[in-house]
Amino acid sequence: MTKVLEVKCPQCEGKFNYYSSEFRPFCCERCKMIDLGHWFSENYAVASNEPLKEQDIDEIQKKLEEEYEG
């Protein structure tokens, strides 16, 4: 049985079946790429109480490398 969950695309607000979209939570590749462009252009940001320090960035990079290698 195919699951059906009709939702709105966060980009264009068009309705689509969540389970049948390979681009979820977006309805199509176009909406997904528009959203990605907003992140790359820094139109979106994740709130933080304080900026990252150089040490924080090094620790994050080390953890990512360990996960990738392991």
CA atoms within 13 A on the CB side of 26: 12
- Predicted confidence at residue 39, as pLDDT, reads 93
Q: What is the DSSP string of 14-66?
A: -EEEGGG-TTTTSSSHHHHHHHHHHHHTTSS----SSPPPHHHHHHHHHHHHH
Q: In whole angstroms, what is the distance from residue 38 CA to residue 2 CA?
A: 33
User: Which fold is adopted by the domain 6-69?
Assistant: Erythroid Transcription Factor GATA-1; Chain A (3.30.50)
**In tens digits, what is the pLDDT along the chain, a chain of 70 residues?**
678 999 999 999 999 999 999 999 999 999 999 999 999 999 988 888 888 888 989 999 999 999 888 6
